[in-house]
Amino acid sequence: MALLGYARVSTQQQDLQLQIDALISAGVKGHTDYLFTDKASGKNDDREGLKLLLLKAREGDTILVTKLDRLGRNTYDMIRIIEELDSRGIAVKFLHDGISTEGSMGKMVVTILAAVAQAERDRILERTQEGRKAAIERGVKMGRKPTVSQELKQQVKQAVEQGIPKAKVAKQYKISRQKVYDILEELAETA
């Protein structure tokens, strides 16, 4: 039953030391076996400290974090982590927020936070769909831009029709052989 700590900052310019000091003051041993940190992990999932913490934590352990927003990048991410830990019998305590996932009150807090996370996901999805619909109505093309122009497609078709081997056509136009086949298939479907 270890007491583990996790500290995270979103940018390289921010300092972890205040969080580390608070975790040590709360009883976490100031050693890398017990204290896990991440810097500049705002948008990506490359949080090595969190990954190591999740591997190290065992049933009966307690993880201390200074604040709710330090555990996850957003509510959904935080709830996902808490639910994973809870299912493994690992408690999470947030020092400054006075929240713990232990006991029935803790379970209630997790349930409420899960509902908030679901509402946040639904809101984001709704806004995304509204934005996409408005963009389409304004004539904005959605999706990836074509990697091959119509002109190049016609040149590829003409070259193949002239009997030039597809491998040579691919080399000539600096595209893959598969792209030659894809172009021919697409043009055949639209013909």
Judge whether 10 counts as a catalytic residue: yes
Question: Contact at 8 Å (CB) between 57 and 90?
Answer: yes
Phi, psi of 29 (to 5 degrees): -70, 135
Q: Which helix (H) or strand (E) holds 99?
A: strand 99-100
Long-range (24+ apart) CB contacts under 8 A made by 179-185 are 179/147, 179/148, 180/156, 183/148, 183/153, 183/156, 183/157, 184/156, 184/157, 184/160
- Letter string b/e over residues 25-63, b meaning 16 or more CB atoms within 10 A of that residue's CB: eeebeeeeebbbbbbebeeeeebebbebbbeebeeebbb
Given 10, 100, 104, 149, the catalytic residue: 10
Q: Which amino acid makes up residue 29? A: K
Q: Which amino acid makes up residue 147? A: T
Q: Which helix (H) or strand (E) holds 137?
A: helix 103-137
C-alpha to C-alpha distance for 166 and 29, rounded to whole angstroms: 65
Q: Which residues are designated catalytic?
A: 10
